[in-house]
Structure 1
Amino acid sequence: MKRRFLALVGMDRAGTRLEAEARSWDAGEEGERRTKALLVPLAREGWEMLHDRRIPGAHSANVDHVVVAPSGRAFLVDSKLWHGRARVRVLGGQLAHGSVGKVKEIDTVLFETRLTERALGTTVTPLIAMHVAPVDGGGFIVRGVPVVPADRLVELLRRNAGRPDPVRARVLAERALRVLPRYVE
């Protein structure tokens, strides 16, 4: 109780930092849950979904969502839930939330994508699905990564799915299940 009080009045920096980290984790989990719910219609259309997966070669990184289209095309979807008081935009060629640069977020998605491609043995297309915070222009691409409002995610995936190839899709989905185990802390 005393530590919580000190954190609230700004006298316990470690406690304040830990509470901020906990809020960030909670927002991350909520963003992942929301994205998972958005993807349900695609599962009914034959898309394969893997949520919260460990990446071989990464010590602590995990993939929020790996989505395999009926064509066998693979997507890595990173969920973000950022407050809506600031817009998500490109600032100086980099991802930003208001005036705060978010270079690390793009670096992380690109790192996760490279490791996932290596594990799956195929090209993986990264996407960031943004919940709550408004996204400039209805979406944009920064450093090769599309950043879209979450409500446009399914539309974007469908548009980029490619021509159906059920055999390729099944083989890739089975491989993904084998090489990307559930992420458990």
Structure 2
Amino acid sequence: MSAGSSAGQRAAALRAQAVPRGLKRRFLAAVGMDREGARLAAEARQWEAGKVGEQRTAAMLTPLGAEGWAGFYDRVIPGLDRANADYVLVSPGGRVFMPDAKMRHGRARIRVVAGRLMHGDVDEDRQIDGVLTEARFVGQTLGVPVTPLIAVHIAPVDGGGFILRGVPVVPADRLVELLRRNAGVPDPAAARTMWLRADQKLPRYVEGGGR
């Protein structure tokens, strides 16, 4: 399964649900008052933006394959209900990283206010908690520390990037540079062991079914 597949599947399902069915919904849609349809369509747009962000990030990560990195996309996170890892990367040194791509409009900056992640005046701090939790569960599954990162598309990031509660938050175009700097000393045996473990213990995610 390629990057963004599960987000695309979720968006398509929401689009289908947004189509008015039944006399009442069709009437409300005709007079511009189908609030449920509007909610579903708005949620679908968020998932569609997520799909684009994941695909852009995957394209940025492609050169790492020639440098000995392994990438796994849309993988189940054991122990977290309906959660999936957009990317799990294993470096040539056997280190494990989990970048999380975020598409945010450029009318406001990504910044830290009073210790919380903000996009302009919108509180985004749940994103930090989310990636920390996902990395912890994947780390427990693989038996190694896992480093989460947040890569932001479009919106500018204060200072060209910062670390909040141990999570690097960087503009997407700095992600590959950051990964290369933290890849560790090459260790082909350790890297191969970790590739195999990740592929075995993190099944492919299927929207609606988990696996």
Quote how far apart the aligned CAs of 1:144 are: 1.2
Q: Does structure 1 residue 180 correspond to structure 2 residue 202?
A: yes
Taking only the aligned residue pairs, the percentage that are identical comes to 63
Q: Does structure 1 residue 74 correspond to structure 2 residue 124?
A: no
Query: With structure 2 as the length reference, what TM-score do the two structures score?
Result: 0.83
Instruction: Call closer, same or farther: CA 1:161–1:90 in 2, change over 3 Å.
Output: same
Q: Which residue of 2 aligns with 1:89?
A: 111
Instruction: Call closer, same or farther: CA 1:5–1:140 in 2, change over 3 Å.
Output: farther
Cα distance in 1, alignment partners of residues 109 and 70 from structure 2: 32
Quote how far apart the aligned CAs of 1:90 are: 0.8
Quote how far apart the aligned CAs of 1:108 are: 1.0
| Residue 18 (structure 1) aligned to one of 40, 45, 56 | 40
Instruction: Call closer, same or farther: CA 1:12–1:63 in 2, change over 3 Å.
Output: same
Q: Which residue of 2 aligns with 1:156?
A: 178
Instruction: Call closer, same or farther: CA 1:104–1:7 in 2, change over 3 Å.
Output: farther
1:91 and 1:101 in contact (8 A); partners too: no
Quote how far apart the aligned CAs of 1:10 are: 6.8
Q: Which residue of 2 aligns with 1:169?
A: 191
Q: Which residue of 2 aligns with 1:55?
A: 77
State which structure, 1 or 2, has the greater radius of gyration over its C-alpha atoms.
Answer: 2
Cα distance in 2, alignment partners of residues 82 and 143 from structure 1: 21
Ranges in structure 2 where 5+ consecutive residues have no aligned partner: 1-18
1:7 and 1:16 in contact (8 A); partners too: no
Specify the SS of the correspondent of 2:92: coil
Q: Which residue of 2 aligns with 1:131?
A: 153
Listed as ranges, the matches of 1:97-108 within 5 Å are 97-108=119-130
Q: Which residue of 2 aligns with 1:30?
A: 52
| Equivalent position amino acid for 1:16 in 2 | A
Specify the SS of the correspondent of 1:162: coil
After superposition, what is the alpha-carbon deviation per residue over 1:98-152, rounded to whole angstroms, capped at 9, x for unaligned?
A: 1000121111111101110011110001101111111111001112110000100
| Equivalent position amino acid for 1:177 in 2 | D
Cα distance in 1, alignment partners of residues 66 and 175 from structure 2: 16
Ranges in structure 1 where 5+ consecutive residues have no aligned partner: none
Cα distance in 1, alignment partners of residues 190 and 174 from structure 2: 26
Cα distance in 1, alignment partners of residues 119 and 26 from structure 2: 29
| Equivalent position amino acid for 2:123 in 1 | G
Aligned-CA RMSD value: 1.8
Q: Aligned residues, how many?
A: 185
